[in-house]
Every structure is written in C-alpha cells, then in structure tokens.
Amino acid sequence: MDYVPPKCYPDDLFTRGQMVYNAFAVYDNTLGLSVGNENNLQVKHGRDGTTTAPCVKAFLRDMRSYAASCSGAVRQVPIGLDIADIPPREHWI
C-alpha cells in the first residue's frame, strides 16, 4: 500500500464508500456520514514513519468530491471524520 495521497488507500475502499453513500443518501433521516471512527492519525507505517493522517484526509476529500458530483441524483449528505474520543495520554496514569 502506498501512503502518498491519493493512492494511499485501495480502490475497493473508495468503491465501498460510494456504495455506502448511495445507500444512505436516499433517506431523509441520514444526518451525516463518517469516513472513519476512532482514527489514530499518528500511527506510523514503515521505516519513514509516515502517519495515517494524509491517507484519511485524502479519502475524506475524495468522498466529499464524489458526494458533490452526485448532486441531483441523491440528496447531499455531509461527510466528516470522527477522531478518537479518548483522553490525552498524559491522563492515562
């Protein structure tokens, strides 16, 4: 897996995101969608220590772009990201 946006996530993940968006955008009670939950954006991958943040950001950008391109076909649903809701590490002790 290449961690340089926009090729840092597999194509089938984007296809899955499109399917989820299309499935839920038809409902009036869908308030929004999240591209991730409890993401740790500082997880390091590989020797160079790249973080997951650029990939998550790229996926969020691409999903928002896809949603904008669907105008008229389905209603616009906001897309966001849930960051980890745990206390900072210094509070663990």
Q: pLDDT tens string for the chain (93 positions)?
A: 455 556 788 888 899 999 999 999 999 999 999 988 766 666 666 555 566 778 888 899 999 999 999 988 888 999 998 876 666 666 665
The DSSP secondary structure of 19-84, one letter per residue, reads HHHHHHTT-TT---EES-SSB-TT-EETTTTEESHHHHHHHHHHHHHHHHHTBTTB----EE-PBP
pLDDT of residue 6: 65
pTM: 0.76
